[in-house]
Structure 1
Amino acid sequence: MLGHVLAENAVLRALEPWQAEEFAAHVDVVRDDLLPWIPFARMVVDVDSARSFLQGYADRQAADGGRIYGIWVDGVLAGGVLFRVFNAEIGVCEVGVWLGAGARGRGLVTMAVRHMVDWAMNVRGMARVEWRCDPENANSRAAAKRLGFTHEATLRSTWIIEGERHDEEIWALVKD
């Protein structure tokens, strides 16, 4: 199995459409934690919607426009990271993350994102990696800070969850 070891018993590897059943089961387990912050928590509700979501990322990857990876702990899908946006032409991408509560506190997101940023900047030549989050998401903001991202702006009222408007912070790493 191809993957990148993050820590003892934790690996980062591609999350693909053939893993739809595992992904759907994972989202069911972590849904309540994700609902305030992660749009796919509402979209992925069964194996078919999980397969469709993962196929969308497979199509994005084939077009060099995005990628999704899972984080497995002790062989169980515990979370993931993704390039929600990946624009090689202009050298800008956006990284996103999620992690179930049971896998938090081990630095897995930090290690996974560092690996992704290294690949994006040093292999693919990205000049800028963005991190976007709701200002109310303390865990996401703390991860961005820990990774060395700089808070650049807060866009007011930019997205809607369950009819409620939310702000969005933009954090970025820029290749010097």
Structure 2
Amino acid sequence: MYAIPLGDDGAELCPLGPWQAGEFLGHVDRGREFIGQFNGLPDVVTDLASSRAFLTAYAEKEAADAGRICGIRYGGTLVGAVILRRMDVAQGTAEAGCWLEPAAVGRGLVTRAARVLIDWAVRERGIHRVEWWVSPHNAPSIAVARRLGMRRDGVLRESYLYRGERHDEEIWSVLAPEWTGGAH
């Protein structure tokens, strides 16, 4: 396994593949309620088969150069992930996202991991615009977008149907000429 250190606290960014479906399911189970506040992942990953299917879909996206998932490990344990939910190299656009277990919150893990993934997308894949879609009620995720040097582009009112209710979505973005590695 190849891992990228995220600092001197033992945190790492690492690939995730279908063969890690059991570990991934355990991670989702540990954070199911917390992650599910703003993210539909716990509704999709409910058992070993759906965990494997989710990771297989990202393996296929990566093979097609259309997305990527990277795990966040802290103390050797999978505690979260950052993703390029979609990536269109020809258009130069991507949408980044993340989640974290509650036990790992407050350590800057998502900011550090997203910085590495976005930097790769901009510098290695030539992505011009990276978006961050977030609920206006998800203050920690909005704080990450700000720390990454993103600007709020606008709000899509009641655009997201989640668990039977309509929710607003904010779109934040950073453009390649503005990207400084998120050092703000």
- For normalisation by structure 2, the TM-score amounts to 0.93
Contact 1:36–1:161 under 8 Å retained in 2: no
| Mapped contact 1:67–1:83 kept (Cα < 8 A) | yes
Deviations 1:88-137 (A, max 9, x none): 01000011011112112221111111111111111111110100001111
Cα distance per residue 1:44-93 (max 9 Å; x no partner): 01111100000010111111111101001111110010000110010000
Q: For residues 108 and 154 of structure 2, what CA distance do their matches in structure 1 show? A: 26
In structure 2, runs of 5+ residues without a counterpart are 178-184
2:108 and 2:141 mapped to 1: Cα distance?
13
Q: Distance in 1 between matches of 2:41 and 2:24?
A: 11
Paired position in structure 2 for 1:87? 88
Q: Alignment partner of 1:158: what SS?
A: strand
SS at match of 1:89: coil
Secondary structure, aligned partner of 2:78: strand
Unaligned runs of 5+ residues in structure 1 are: none
Q: Which amino acid aligns with 1:22?
A: E
Partner of 2:3: 3
1:30 maps to 31
- Superposed CA deviations along residues 129-170 of structure 1, whole A, max 9, x for unmatched, are 100001111111111111111000100111111110011100
Does structure 2 retain, via aligned residues, the 8 Å contact 1:84–1:94? yes
SS of corresponding position for 2:6:
strand
Q: Which moved more, 1:13-22 or 1:138-147?
A: 138-147
- Alignment partners' CA distance in 2, 1:12 and 1:5: 6
Return the letter of the residue paired with 1:50.
Answer: S
Which residue identity lines up with residue 66 of structure 1 in the other structure?
G
Superposition pairs of residues 44-55 of structure 1, within 5 angstroms: 44-55=45-56
Residue 4 of structure 1 aligns with an amino acid whose one-letter code is I
Compute the TM-score of the two structures, normalised by the length of structure 1: 0.97
Secondary structure of the residue aligned to 1:2 is coil
Task: Answer yes or no: is the 8 Å Cα contact 1:24–1:46 preserved in 2.
Answer: yes
RMSD: 0.9
What SS class does the counterpart of residue 62 from structure 2 fall into?
helix
* Alignment partners' CA distance in 1, 2:91 and 2:68: 17
Q: Indicate yes or no: 2:23 matched with 1:19.
A: no
Q: How far apart, in 2, do the equivalents of 1:136 and 1:68 lie?
A: 24
Aligned-residue sequence identity (percent) comes to 45
1:167 match: 168
Give 1:114's aligned residue. Answer: 115
